[in-house]
Structures are given as C-alpha cells and as structure tokens.
Amino acid sequence: MLNLYLFQILNGLGLGMIYFLISVGLTIIFGLLNFVNFAHGGFFMLGAYFCYALLQATGQFWVALVAGPLAVGAMAWVAEKVLIRRAYHLPHTFHILITVGVALILQEACIIVWGPIGKSIPIPETLQGVVIMGKFAYPKYRLFLILFSAVIGFALWVLLERTRFGALVRAGSESTEMVSLLGADIYKLFSLTFALGVGLAGLAGVLSGPIRGAHPFMGPEVLGLAFVVVVIGGMGSFTGALVGGLIIGLVQSLMSSLWPEGASLMIYGAMAAVILLRPYGLFGRA
C-alpha cells in the first residue's frame, strides 16, 4: 500500500510539472500583455502532434523534444504579429473570441492533417523500462519527465529573474508604458513573450505525448486545468504556477486511487477552497 501511494505521489509530481509548464506560459502572457489566451490548450495539442509527426519522420524523440516546442513557438510568434497584436487594446471579450477561434482552427487543422482518431506516441528506447529502488519500481520516462521539467523550470526562473529580458517582462507587467518610455521595443517584447509562453505549452505537449498520446480534443481539457492552476497560484506569478501545478497534479493523482469518481471534483474543490481563503490566489496580487 505504501508503494502505491509513493507511486501516485511521483505520478502527481510529473502531472504537476506538466501543468506548471502549461500554466506558467499562460500566466506570463497575461502578466505582461494583459491578454487572455484561450488558444493555449490548442498549442499544447499542437506540441503533441508535432512530437508524433517528428517521430514518424526522424524516429528520434530528442529531435521532437527540441524542434516541437520551437515550431509551436514560431507559429505563436507569427500569430502574434499577424493577429493577436491587433487585439491588445480591445476588451477581454474580444481576446476570448479571437483565441477561441484560433483554438478551433488548430483543432480542425489537426483533424484534417492527422485524422480524428488519436495517435499513440512510443516512449523513447533509452527511457523504456523502470528504475528499481529496493522494493519500489518506477517508470524511467516518468522520472525523466519530473527531472527534465524541473530543469526547464529552473532555467525559466533564471531567464525571468536574472536577465535583462526577464527584467523587462517583470517591469512590463507593472507598466508597459514606462518600459516603452525607457527605450525598449515593447512590441518586440510582446512577440517574444507570447512565443515563449506558447512554446512552453508546446513543450508540455511533447513531454506528455508518450504518456497520453495526441488527439484533437485534448486542448479544452488541458486549458481548463491550466486556468485552475493559474487561479490557485495567482495570475502573473511564476511561483504560483509551480505551486498550483503541483497541488493539482498531486490531488488528481492521489484521488484517482482513493476516489476515482471524484478526482475531477476534488480538483475544482481545491480551487474553490483557495478562492474562499485568498481570492487572488496563493501568490497573486490584487
């Protein structure tokens, strides 16, 4: 029984890190651009499909791990230049309409290219099998997922906290006008931030591919969970995205063993409890 709970805790950490990668991109985009991106789940789905396509073309998961998020980020950069930028000054209702439309286009495009049936993505050969620790065994790929996501999270923290780009993003989240007056190209900063945030969602899609595959209807489900994480952690907070993702991952994983029928209910129950205690999230600000 103890091994079962340890297995589920590690699964929860893996899920939590996936949710962190998705939601941190969402929260960075909102923090700087004040833009609600409802196409975020669609770009996650696109990352999973790119993983499948690159594996089919090259047979190398590591190529997909690098090229998939870069391709998703490049598409996001183009979308920001061509479409999203024109909506920044509009109310949030227009943001929702535009990005929901983008999400539907991405979904239908995936159905046209890859069909309506989901695709399975194999685990890379080097990460197949299990790691044995005494009487406990755990899949290598899931352990890699936890460690790799932690490294990406640390690199992202360094980028946001220790570089000029990160300083501009943090300053821009307080006052974009001031950053612009100081000489920064605010629209270039917007484009890079949008591409970074969406690229992280694409990376999460690639990483989750060998676990859950790729199918054209995975976007809305993931988007809902990402918003739950952001609400729990606090909009615009890097730490909040990490803590919120881990909370939701652990709750979902543990409840799938204790009360499978109520796993989804408990996720939203955790969100409701946080809203009652801290309306702006654990690390959010008014």
Confidence grade of residue 36 (pLDDT, cut at 50, 70, 90): confident
Confidence grade of residue 32 (pLDDT, cut at 50, 70, 90): confident
Give the closest residue to 150 by CA, choosing from 10, 6, 270, 5: 10
93 Cβ neighbours under 8 A, 6+ residues apart: none
Give the chain's mean pLDDT: 89
Flag whether 12 is in a domain: yes
Domain of 131, CATH number, reads 1.10.3470
Flag whether 286 is in a domain: no
Beta bridge partners of 208: none
Cα 192 from Cα 160, distance rounded (Å): 13
Kindly state the average pLDDT of the residues 210-235: 91
Domain hosting residue 164, numbered range: 2-277
Flag whether 149 is in a domain: yes
pTM: 0.93
Flag whether 285 is in a domain: no
Flag whether 122 is in a domain: yes
Kindly state the average pLDDT of the residues 52-56: 95
Confidence grade of residue 1 (pLDDT, cut at 50, 70, 90): low
CB 35 within 8 A of CB 100: no
Cα 192 from Cα 273, distance rounded (Å): 35
Flag whether 284 is in a domain: no
Domain total for the chain?
1
Confidence grade of residue 283 (pLDDT, cut at 50, 70, 90): confident
**What is the structure's pLDDT at 286?**
59
Interior CA angle at 21 toward 118 and 58, to 5°? 50
Is 90 exceeded by the pLDDT of residue 17? yes
Flag whether 225 is in a domain: yes
Tens of pLDDT, residue by residue over 87-128, are 888 888 899 999 999 999 999 999 999 999 999 999 999 999
Flag whether 250 is in a domain: yes
Tens of pLDDT, residue by residue over 154-212, are 999 999 888 888 888 877 767 777 777 777 788 888 899 999 999 999 999 999 999 99
